[in-house]
Amino acid sequence: MLDRSLREWLDERAAELDRSGERSHALLQKLAEANLFRIGIAPASGGSGGTLLDAIDAISAVARHSLTAAFMFWGHRTYIDILTQAPESALRDRLLPDLLAGRLAGATGLSNAMKFLSGLEELQVAGVPDGEGGWRLSGQLYWVTNLQTRGFQAVTVVQPDGGGEPFIASIGSGLTGVSRSDDLALMAMQGSATAALRFDDVALEQDGVIHPVARAFLPAVRPRFLGLQCGMALGLAERILDECRDRLSDGHVLRDEWQALTRRYRQIRSDIYAGVESQRFVQQPGELFHLRIGLVELAMSGIQLELMLTGGRAYLSPQGDGTARRWRECAFLPLVTPSVVQLKQQLARLPS
């Protein structure tokens, strides 16, 4: 799925993308030049066709080489997905060409919204009607990826002041009152342009509203959001299992463990793809939550196996740098929203 030049570019710069934000914009451009953002988007909208499963495959393919790249890819592609799943609008017509071409960054600030949807957190962005059909927004988002300093659009959920139906909005970096923090000091994936956003009396026009009823729209798109997100873990886990395979000899004492993890990986991947394709996760979100948790646990088990198979070389630099990076990448998987803890909290709330 990825051409040779992109695979080589990602492999050569995986360590730098993990440790530095210097190539963040270049990364967005490379993914766009490979037309990856167009996968799963209808040709009539500027895409290359295919389905959401093809987009998940693409994120997974990138994650085999760099989770930093896959994380940025996921954030950008999820913003595009939300825009294309919402009713047609002037906003979509205006933004989509630049998003697909990588000229504009799409940032998905829905961590707070997904927690809100599950009753775990209050919304952190408030809106006051301006009397002319628009809104004045205030609040903060503490963790948003792909906030490119050259310009971005961030999607979030807004709570109308004094009550009312929360709505989904897109907020541009060029609006007065929008401020971006420095990149967060992450343990890994520093090149993902991840930062905090603050909104101080930001004027949002009516056409900045993507969907007027967040409670109706979010449950419908959540399986797509999570399905694309699973692409990151699927690609990383597959790469780890391949690294393990390359270190195994016939009759190795750990071969059975690798085979069991590989079978489990294939089953989880099959179940995720089948559920996304059939759209049954819209009505049965708990099944997807279980699969996401299982996928994270599998990746964590896989990196432990890779460490054991690599031996002391895994603790040496530069010999073990790839293994060390994958270990740090794995450490992120249980934390990305919705985190494993949040998923388990949601499962506990579902009818048994």
Is it the case that residue 113 has pLDDT exceeding 90?
A: no
Among residues 94, 115, 117, 74, the alpha carbon closest in space to that of 224 is found at 74
Is it the case that residue 119 has pLDDT exceeding 90?
A: no
| Residue 251: per-residue pLDDT | 85
3-state DSSP assignment of residue 211: strand
Q: Which long-range contacts (CB under 8 A, 24 or more apart) does 310-315 make?
A: 310/247
285-307 tens-digit pLDDT: 999 999 999 999 999 999 999 99
Query: Is residue 341 very low, low, confident or very high in pLDDT (cuts 50, 70, 90)?
Result: very high
Q: What is the CATH number of domain 4-105?
A: 1.10.540.10
Q: What percent of the chain has pLDDT over 90?
A: 89
Q: In the chain, what are the domain boundaries?
A: 4-105, 107-213, 215-349
Query: Is residue 185 very low, low, confident or very high in pLDDT (cuts 50, 70, 90)?
Result: very high
What region does 131 belong to: left with phi over 0, alpha with psi -120 to 50, or beta?
left
| Residue 217: per-residue pLDDT | 94
208 within 8 A of 171, measured Cβ to Cβ: yes
The model's pTM: 0.96
Range from 126-130, 186-190, 238-242, 317-321 carrying the lowest mean pLDDT: 317-321
Q: Which H/E stretch holds residue 186?
A: none
3-state DSSP assignment of residue 284: coil
Q: What is the CATH number of domain 215-349?
A: 1.20.140.10
54-74 tens-digit pLDDT: 999 999 999 999 999 999 999
Distance CA 256, CA 69 (A): 32
67-85 mean pLDDT: 97
247-289 tens-digit pLDDT: 998 889 999 999 999 999 999 999 999 999 999 999 999 999 9
215-235 mean pLDDT: 95
What region does 328 belong to: left with phi over 0, alpha with psi -120 to 50, or beta?
alpha
309-330 mean pLDDT: 93
Average pLDDT, the chain: 95
240-253 mean pLDDT: 93
CATH superfamily of 107-213: Butyryl-CoA Dehydrogenase, subunit A, domain 2 (2.40.110.10)
Angle (CA) 39-210-96 rounded to 5° is: 35
Q: Which H/E stretch holds residue 262?
A: helix 255-278
Range from 117-131, 237-251, 296-310 carrying the lowest mean pLDDT: 117-131
Is it the case that residue 168 has pLDDT exceeding 80?
A: yes
| Residue 323: per-residue pLDDT | 96
Is it the case that residue 121 has pLDDT exceeding 90?
A: no
14-50 tens-digit pLDDT: 999 999 999 999 999 999 999 999 999 999 999 999 9
